Every structure is written in structure tokens, then in C-alpha cells.
Structure 1
Amino acid sequence: MTQFVGTGVALITPFKEDLSIDFDALERLVEYNIKNGVEYLVISGTTGESVTITSDEKKKLIEFIASVNKGRLPLVLGIGGNNTASIVSEIQGTDLSNIDAILSVSPYYSKPTQEGIYQHFKAISQVSPLPIILYNVPGRTSKNIEPETTIRLANDFENIIGVKEAGNNVHQYLELLRTKPDDFLVISGDDDLALGVALAGGSGVISVIGQGLPKEFSEMIRLGIAGKAKQAYDIHFRLMPITSMIFAENNPAGIKAVLNGLGISKIHVRLPLVEATLSLQKLINGELKKLGKS
């Protein structure tokens, strides 16, 4: 699964002022990331505002991104939720011919036990024709996938190939790296911790800020995986302020402000999210200027 080693980016869904999908901006975003060295693209994750995207829109997003990508990079599709039967049905009913893996978030709101989480992903594994990357983000789901559960799933199901770990918990990352099967991918979902995870033996990151600064961020991760800490941290320290800024209010409002500052897409988001405040936009634009991006 080396195609998922390095930097994947959790693509935003650009919107026009009327909140319809801005496909011209999406094409610019995809091309920008491909040309600047990311390793793979993630469609319809949290950063893509998946919870406010209709099933018809999701189908169009998959088709459009695949048509722009033209097979140049692997594509990962988010299919997850807290209704196991519904996820199974979506996997079975989705054209996955252009998709290389599924990213599936742990059930949210329902707060299942660890056994419930295990059985949920077992059911998904049994119907998925593609590799599965688990997504643990307890800050959004209210329930952590404990390392023991992740490793149990990794050992029991060949098509569960990795985890996007976004608990912002250094000890949990290290426990996963210590106990995982050799070929299991531990992928950072925390932009601020991604370099440390890569240096410790992780497989890279699925990033938010990476799509705004793909050249710099993906190079930092490659250096980290190669164990070149000094060069990697030189980049990390330059990117620290803007990485913090984009999460100051909500995601993806922050990264949309970055992409607006870069002239790639607009700042519009769908309710219940709201656009980045003018004060945050000003801070972000100032930081982009310091980085020589505006």
C-alpha cells in the first residue's frame, strides 16, 4: 500500500456564492495539488463538508475529480457514518471503479462500545471491494477507537490497511506504531503532529493545510519519512503559524480562507458552518504574504 505513503489531502468542496459546487475552482484545486507533489487525494471527507453534500452531489464530485485526475494520483473516498447498514448499502451502490481506497470514520453520536466499533468495521470490511482506511477522530465522534481495537481490526481483516489517527494524542500514535502489523499504515490526521508521526515511523498524513501549501507540506512529510529531521523541522516551523490559524474557528472555513487568498477558490461554506471572520482572513492573508504566497 505504498501509494498511500506520504501526503494525502482532504479536499474541500468549493462553493459559489449561491452555495452550488464550483467545479471550475475544484479543477484548479486538484491540478494545483497534483502539480505540487502530493501523493493522493481524499474525496468527501469532513473537510469536504460531507455532511451537507447530497448523494447526487457526491456522485458528481467523484466523477469530476476522477475526470480531472486522469489516473495520475490514487483517490480515496470517504464513506462512513453511524448507520452501519446504510454504509454497507452505499458501498454496494457506489461506482468505485476510479477509487483506490475507502476512508471510513468511526461511528459518531451513537457512542458504541469498542466491540460495537469492531463489529461496525467488520461489516464494512466484509462488503468492501477496496482497501479500507479507518478514521479515528474522537473530537468529532465522541468515542475513541482504542489502539487495541485498531490493531485487532488490522490483524483480522486484510483489506483494513491503515488508520487515519486524529485524536491529537501522541501516546496513542506511539502505541499504534509499537503494536501494529508491519504493513499497516498509521497516517496522521493531525497537521500539527504529522511530522513527529512520520519521524516515529508513521506513513504520512491526510492533511487539511497540505492542499493550500502542497509543495512545502508534502516535502516536509517526505523528509520526515526519510528521517531527515533537521530539514523537515525547518519547514515545519515555517508552517506552524498558518497551520494553527486554519483551525482557529472551524474546519474547513480556515483552509477555504487560505485557498481564497491564493486565488484558487472562494470562502463560502454551508450552514451550520460559517465563513472565517474578517479578522481571521486578515491574519491568514498576512501569513501567506510572509510565506511568499501572495
Structure 2
Amino acid sequence: MDLQLKGKRALVTGASSGLGKAIALMLAAEGAEVVVHGRNEHRATEVAGQIREAGGIAAIATGDLATDEGADAVAEAALANGKIDILVNNAGVVSHKNWSDAGADDWLEIYNANVVSYVRMIRRIVPQMKELGWGRVIHIGGGLAIQPIKEQPHYNATLAARHNLSASLARQLKETGITSNVVSPGAIINPMVEQWLIDAAPKFGWGTDLEEIKYRAVQDLIPNDTGRFGYPEEVAGAVLYLTSPLANYISGAIIRVDGGTIKNV
């Protein structure tokens, strides 16, 4: 299936590892020119190198999106070789503090890193999309925005803010040819999550085999219709569809990729 992305330029924030990397690689495989953003130049360069080795086109843009100066640098690098058609706002941080541990400064810090950073890139990239008369803005949200847990309340709240701002942006961009949508992942497996599961297994009695640990963790912590964790590529697939001209009629939406963890209709 041709997603009609050849000739499009995409900026993926937080693309030097994890979900962002998976999105960047898949966009490039579909023919888009990808600007790989990261705070670590070496890791961003490695991802761009993988894209080029596979025959794709890639550039890098480094900077800390939690600052205006960093966002300026990233936008300048991204736009240096042409307009950006697709912005994937993915960069952010996670904090596992609870209500007792997370003070006001923690709330402010994570809100800046996870929400205001998205706003910074919207303000720097979307205006030139209006000149193009077409564009895609994809925000990575999460199921905890819809069904928050008692832990990490400040992090949960930033996901809800991402969902809200994306819908507001869609209203603002009415009839411009630019859409704004959220992809909301469930529990996604990666090396860091696997290590946490291994460390937590004795406490929960999940056994010692990694596959058994993952299965039992799903049953105890995130029961869903697939009975497993998701993979970054499965989330990236939903992002790619929303970036495509085939999704012209989707805006202001939240696409859940969570195996049916959230049960509302």
C-alpha cells in the first residue's frame, strides 16, 4: 500500500531512540525525507545513518525542546533544507514520583518538558505549513490521559494536556488543509520496560522466564484484549497512516493503540 509520502518532509522529535526512532525509520521507508531530532547528537546521527543505509533521506536536528533556545535551534535545522509537511511531537520525559513525592517544581518541570515543548514546536513549524496549504501534526499521547492511575499524577496530567491541545489545534486549523491528531499508545515493550519487569518479578511472583514475566505482568497490571505488551512499530504504523494524504478526513481524533486496555466505546 502506497501511503503517498514520497516528497514529504517530516520532523520527528525524540527520534533518537524508542518509539520516535521506529516512527522515523518507517516514515523514511515510505519515501519521506526525515529530520531526526534528539538531544544527543551521536544517537540522532546513528538513526539518520540507518535511514541512509536503507536508501532513505535523513538529516538531524539537535536541541533541548524544554527551552526556547533549543526549540529555535531545532526548527532552524529542520527548515534549513525545505518546508516541513509533517510534525510528529513525540519527545518527552517520564517520572514515576507519586502524590507524596512530586512537589510543585516537579509538576512545573514535567509540564514544560511534555506539554510546552509540544507548543514550542507547533508555533515554529505549523505557520509554514499554512503556506503549503497542507500539513500533518501528530501528537503522542497515552492511555493514562483517559484513565489515570494513582501514581505519577503529574505525568498523567501532561498526557491529558497533550490530548486537549491537539483537539484545540484541530479547531484552530479548520479548513487550512492541516490536521491535528493524537496517537495514544498503551503499554509498549522496550529494553527499559523489560528490565523493570525483571527487577519487579520477585515482588509480584511472576517467575524468572522473561516471556512468562511479560505475560503475567499484562494480566496483573494492564489486562487487555491481546494479552500482551505492544511494540513500537505497531504505534508507528498508526502514526504513519495519520501522516498520509489517505487520512485527509481525520482531524481532532485520538487513535488508541493499546490492545483494548481502555474499554470505553
Q: State the TM-score bracket (shorter-chain normalisation).
A: 0.3 to 0.5
Name the TM-score, length of structure 2 as normaliser: 0.36
